[in-house]
Chain A
Amino acid sequence: MNNTKTLYDGGKVITGLVIFVILVTLPFWYNHGKAAPEPQPQLTAKAKAEKACVRPKSIMKATHMQILNGWRNNVVRNARRIWETADGKRFNMSLSKTCLDCHSNKEKFCDTCHNYAAVAPYCWDCHIDKVKEAKE
Chain B
Amino acid sequence: MQCVAVPAIFPGWPGERGDINKKIRITLNGQERILEVVPYRLLLDLLRDEMGMTGTKEGCGTGDCGACTVLLHGKPVNSCLVFSGELDGADIVTIEGLKIGPELHPVQDAFRQDGGAQCGYCTPGMLMMTTALLRENEQPTEEEIRFALSGNLCRCTGYAKIIQAVQRAAEMMREKKITEAKG
Do these two chains interact? no
Q: Name B residues whose Cβ lies closer than 8 Å to a Cβ of A.
A: none
Q: Name A residues whose Cβ lies closer than 8 Å to a Cβ of B.
A: none
